[in-house]
Amino acid sequence: MNVVPRRSRFARGGQRIDVSFEFFPPATAEMEGILWESIKRLAPLTPSFVSVTYGAGGSTRERTHNTVKRILAETALTPAAHLTCVAATRAEIDAIVRQYGEAGVRHIVALRGDSIGGPGTRYAPHPGGYANAADLVGGIRKLGDFEISVSAYPEKHPDSPTVEADIDMLKAKVDAGATRAMTQFFFENDLYFRYLDRVRARGIDIPIVPGILPVQNFKATTGFAARCGASVPSWLAERFHGLDADPATRKLIAAAVAAEQVIDLVDRGVTQFHFYTMNRADLVYAICHLLGLRPAVEQAA
């Protein structure tokens, strides 16, 4: 069987739209069921890849690996495994990368990770470990022909003293072999475009793919944003105000907000999107539909 898109997916200007979906490894059997329902619903949209996060401090090492392996075994999707430098020696991380290579995984999302004390506490590299994300990218590069994606921060990473220092780190990651960056989520598109201008001015030419977070839960999003240095504009709070006890309306508002954001990005020339799915398919599916993506159909070879 060949899987082919039923209708081609092109932005208004005629350019192809590509998407990727991020999932986290489930902690319980119930969450595993939700994840797999979501993967099955989103798979026919033929994303370029689906990525699986790596828990803080390496806490999901096995679960990340198992989820990635199941995606390889049971779907036609291309998985990307997230990996961080936290709480492991180089030898331990290299062994994980080799295992992925042997299992047929060709794409790693290479990150420094958060300090073990959590966001806000000072990061200290593991003795004998990779010092930072650029160091990790270089290490993975030596171990095989992997596609390597990294993070980017339109509003600056909280550890970074300035945007320029942040962009220096991005440059180091690209020089070490990264070929794509996915951004932290943001709600004001101008922040992304201002950042993109600075990145391009620094001579970085890899795709800087906007990370889109559909707001499944406004309160949780606010807490998450505060920890990772993303701003939540007052107009967004205003849109969700008064809806705490009204999940159906919240969902419609969330779809409208995300739709407005991605359509503006497309109108301004963006053709690739990375969706933080939070393991839920509905909003992401609807937004992809708006972007012109349609489910693939299977055809006899």
Cβ count near 6 (within 10 Å): 11
CB of 151 to ligand FAD, least distance (A): 3
Cβ count near 64 (within 10 Å): 24
**Measured torsion, CA atoms of residues 285, 251, 189, 113, in degrees rounded to the nearest 10:** -80
Binding pattern for the stretch 156-185 against ligand FAD, x by CB under 6 A and - elsewhere = -x-xx----xx--x------------x-x-
Which amino acid, 84?
Answer: T
Size of the site for ligand FAD (CB under 6 A): 24
Among 46, 67, 151, 277, binds ligand FAD (CB under 6 A): 151
Token digits of residue 56: 């803080």
Token digits of residue 250: 């919240």
CB of 120 to ligand FAD, least distance (A): 10
CB of 176 to ligand FAD, least distance (A): 11
216 binds ligand FAD (CB under 6 A): no
What long-range pairs does 38-44 form, CB within 8 A, spacing at least 24? 38/277, 38/279, 38/280, 38/281, 39/71, 39/75, 39/77, 41/281, 41/282, 41/285, 42/277, 42/281, 42/284, 42/285, 42/288, 43/75, 43/76, 43/77, 44/3, 44/295, 44/296
53 binds ligand FAD (CB under 6 A): yes
56 binds ligand FAD (CB under 6 A): yes
Binding pattern for the stretch 90-119 against ligand FAD, x by CB under 6 A and - elsewhere = -------------------x-xxxx-----
CB of 152 to ligand FAD, least distance (A): 7
- The catalytic position among 22, 62, 92, 155 is 22
50 binds ligand FAD (CB under 6 A): no
Instruction: Report in angstroms the alpha-carbon separations of 233 from 184, 245, 261, 287, 297.
Output: 15, 22, 13, 21, 40
Token digits of residue 245: 């006890």
Residue 22 among the catalytic residues: yes
126 binds ligand FAD (CB under 6 A): no
Catalytic annotation, residues: 22
Interaction site with ligand FAD (CB under 6 A): 53-54, 56, 82, 84, 109, 111-114, 123, 132-133, 151, 157, 159-160, 165-166, 169, 182, 184, 211, 228
